[in-house]
Amino acid sequence: MEIHNEFLELNYRYQYYLLELVADNGDYYLTTAKAMKILGLSKFKISQYVENINVDLATISPESHLVINGDGMFESQQINEAVVRKIRLAYLKDSTLFKLLEFSLMNPKQTETADFCDALFIGKTKFYELRKEMVEVTSQFGLEFSKNQIVGPENQIRQFIFEVYYSYFNGIEKPFEMLQETVDQIVTAIGQQYQIELLPTTDTKLEIFVKVQYLRMRGKASVDGRLLAVDFKETQPVVWQTMLTILTEHYQLLNVPLEAEAESLLTFLFAEGYLTLTTNYLDAGLQTQILEKSEQFLNQVRLGLERRPIQSAEFDEALDRLKGHLDQIHMRMLTFYVEPTTFIDENQLAYFAESNPLFHQIIQDFMNQQKTLAWRKQASLYYDYMFACIEDIPLRILKDRVYICVDFSQGKLYNQYMRKMVNYFNNLNIELQTTINEQTDLYLSDFYSSALTCEQLIWKNPPTVHNWQQFGDIVVALKKEKL
Dist CA 198 CA 58 (whole Å): 34
User: pLDDT at position 310, please?
Assistant: 52
On whether the CB atoms of residues 168 and 4 are closer than 8 A, the answer is yes
User: pLDDT at position 340, please?
Assistant: 64
Q: What is the pLDDT of residues 28-64, one digit of tens each?
A: 689 999 999 999 999 999 999 999 999 999 999 999 9
To the nearest whole number, what is the mean pLDDT of the chain?
A: 90
Dist CA 396 CA 402 (whole Å): 10
Where does the pLDDT of residue 225 fall: very low under 50, low under 70, confident under 90, or very high at 90 and above? confident
User: pLDDT at position 40, please?
Assistant: 96
Closest CA to 165 of 224, 123, 207: 207
Specify the CATH number for 5-93; select among 1.10.10, 3.40.50, 1.10.1060, 1.10.287: 1.10.10
Where does the pLDDT of residue 379 fall: very low under 50, low under 70, confident under 90, or very high at 90 and above? confident
**228 strand-pairing partners:** 282
When mean pLDDT is compared over 122-131, 196-205, 328-337, the highest value belongs to 122-131
Where does the pLDDT of residue 412 fall: very low under 50, low under 70, confident under 90, or very high at 90 and above? confident
Dist CA 220 CA 154 (whole Å): 11
Express as a percent the part of the chain with pLDDT over 90. Answer: 67
> Domain locations in the chain?
5-93, 153-276, 284-397, 402-482
User: pLDDT at position 27, please?
Assistant: 65
* Spatial CB neighbours of 38, under 8 Å, sequence gap ≥ 6: 21
When mean pLDDT is compared over 1-15, 72-86, 296-310, the highest value belongs to 72-86
When mean pLDDT is compared over 223-227, 293-297, 379-383, the highest value belongs to 293-297
Sheet holding 430-433, edge to edge: 430-433, 402-407, 442-445, 455-458
Dist CA 278 CA 298 (whole Å): 18
* pLDDT higher than threshold 80 for residue 479: yes
Span 8-18, average pLDDT: 96
Where does the pLDDT of residue 331 fall: very low under 50, low under 70, confident under 90, or very high at 90 and above? very high
Whether domain 153-276 has CATH 1.10.20: the reply is no
* pLDDT higher than threshold 90 for residue 399: no
User: pLDDT at position 2, please?
Assistant: 58
Where does the pLDDT of residue 89 fall: very low under 50, low under 70, confident under 90, or very high at 90 and above? very high
User: pLDDT at position 255, please?
Assistant: 80
Closest CA to 386 of 358, 413, 411: 358
* pLDDT higher than threshold 90 for residue 319: yes
* pLDDT higher than threshold 80 for residue 342: no
Span 368-389, average pLDDT: 81
User: pLDDT at position 311, please?
Assistant: 65
Give a three-class secondary structure readout of the chain.
CCCCHHHCCHHHHHHHHHHHHHHHHCCCCCEHHHHHHHHCCCHHHHHHHHHHHHHHHHHHCCCCEEEECCCCEEEEECCCHHHHHHHHHHHHHCCHHHHHHHHHHHCCCCCCHHHHHHHHCCCHHHHHHHHHHHHHHHHCCCCEEECCEEECCHHHHHHHHHHHHHHHCCCCCCCCHHHHHHHHHHHHHHHHHCCCCCCHHHHHHHHHHHHHHHHHHHCCCCCCCCCECCCHHHHCHHHHHHHHHHHHHHHHHHCCCCHHHHHHHHHHHHHCCCCCCCHHHECHHHHHHHHHHHHHHHHHHHHHCCCCHHHHHHHHHHHHHHHHHHHHHHHHHHCCCCCCCCCCCHHHHHHHHHHCHHHHHHHHHHHCCCCCCCHHHHHHHHHHHHHHHHHHCCHHHCCCCEEEEEECCCCHHHHHHHHHHHHHHHHHCEEEECCCCCCCCEEEECCCCCCCCCEEEECCCCCCHHHHHHHHHHHHHHHHHHC
Where does the pLDDT of residue 3 fall: very low under 50, low under 70, confident under 90, or very high at 90 and above? low
Where does the pLDDT of residue 400 fall: very low under 50, low under 70, confident under 90, or very high at 90 and above? confident
Q: What is the pLDDT of residues 251-285, one digit of tens each?
A: 877 888 899 999 999 999 999 999 998 989 999 99
> CATH second-level architecture of 402-482?
3-Layer(aba) Sandwich (3.40)
User: pLDDT at position 189, please?
Assistant: 97
Q: What is the pLDDT of residues 145-174, one digit of tens each?
A: 999 999 999 999 999 999 999 999 988 999
CA dihedral over 79, 83, 88, 90, signed as positive or negative: negative
User: pLDDT at position 226, please?
Assistant: 83
Where does the pLDDT of residue 347 fall: very low under 50, low under 70, confident under 90, or very high at 90 and above? low
